[in-house]
Amino acid sequence: MKLPAVKSRTVQSRTGKSRTVERPTGKRPAVKLATVLTAAAGVLLATSTHTPAAAAADSLPRLNISAAYVSGVSSGGYMADQLHVAYSGTFKGAGIFSAGAYHCARGNLTTAQLACMNDLYDDNPTELRRIASDRSAQGRIDPIANLAGHKVWLYHGVNDITVKQSVTDGLATFHQGFGANVAYSKTSPAGHAWVSPLGPNPCSATYTPYVNKCTDDPQGSMLRHLLGTVAAPASTPTGTLLRYDQNPYAPNGSAAAISMGATGFAYVPQNCAAGTSCRLMVALHGCQQGYDTIGTTFVTRSYLNEYADTNNLVVLYPQATASSWTGGNPQGCWNWWGYGGDTAYDMKGGKQIETLMRMVRAVGA
């Protein structure tokens, strides 16, 4: 069937102006873990009344992690699903805002545009499940049988025209076909964004910093579905926000070479720092939403830290960044279509996936 004509667009087709964020320069000294976790002062990265100043660190702390989950929005939502499917033995569930089914891009930017953002090309969840099953049999992803019974929480706003609702419908169908327990919210008036009670943008907006405030609490809904009973969020987080060097976790020690930033963040509640058994949530921002573009807005306004404090939950905020090299990533998206020539981008061996997994293992998951 001949596809309808469409206007040229990039896969990161979001509107709105980005603001410039100044960052400190110079190498940060190494800090012992005990000092980091009890630091009363640190380098303030962004104005926020909800999260403590970030303390400097060279590497992630080793913690007592009992289970791991992953969440994300837009490109971060695609990467969250890729992590969950590729390493379903590690991640017990996923929470995803505005993304499509695993491998819907098929390693091709045009397909990503037509099938994974628009509904101009059939993403065919049945075929994508077959591909995942084949990869599982070949050992390129964890056993697909792990997904049966896994909790998957999905969210799509009716004013989101960046990723069509039918695309997220396909993500729901993909996981339901493997027997996952899927919860799907699709009646919110939200635009294309991570929705949070702390969002600086109006609900229907689709512009920087892509964190919107509606009348709901998606984080509470997501965590209740993934974790079960959840305590009310803290009014003011009292844990420690760490900033860490992402380079040691990247191939050849270069995060920039795979379009990841030099700095990542982790929120560690006091109980978790003291050795209490805690769960891990990996939270992945969307395009134009990393630290290099909007500072720590996503990190401090995601409304995950507030729940983390009262539910023994460590939150890891890895960072993607823009790249200018050929076949690169000019808007700081996570790699969900195979940019940079990474043919393993959505399975074991993918450069960003393996970098993220090294971080997850480093904290004890």
Bridge partners of residue 151, in order along the sequence: 93, 181
The catalytic position among 103, 150, 175, 192 is 192
* DSSP states along 282-310: EEE--TT-SHHHHTTHHHHHSSHHHHHHH
Distance CA 118, CA 120 (A): 5
Q: Which two tokens stand for residue 286?
A: 């969307």
Identify whether 302 is a catalytic site residue. Answer: no
Rounded to 5 degrees, what are φ and ψ at 16?
110, 160
Identify whether 160 is a catalytic site residue. Answer: yes
The catalytic position among 123, 142, 160, 245 is 160
Q: Which two tokens stand for residue 291?
A: 């630290």
Nearest of 134, 100, 137 to residue 120 by alpha carbon: 100
Instruction: Determine the number of helices (DSSP H) and then strands (DSSP E) in the chain.
Output: 11, 12
The answer to whether 55 and 240 have CB atoms below 8 angstroms apart is: yes
Identify whether 74 is a catalytic site residue. Answer: yes
Rounded to 5 degrees, what are φ and ψ at 264?
-120, 175
Report the interhelical angle of 125-138 vs 165-176 (nearest 10°): 50
Q: Which two tokens stand for residue 77?
A: 């939502």
Nearest of 362, 232, 208 to residue 288 by alpha carbon: 208
**The tokens 């069509």 sit on which residue?**
164
Distance CA 356, CA 185 (A): 27
The catalytic position among 13, 74, 75, 98 is 74
The answer to whether 352 and 321 have CB atoms below 8 angstroms apart is: no
The answer to whether 245 and 266 have CB atoms below 8 angstroms apart is: no
The three-point CA angle 30-33-36 to 5° equals 80
The answer to whether 258 and 216 have CB atoms below 8 angstroms apart is: no
Give catalytic residue positions: 74, 160, 192
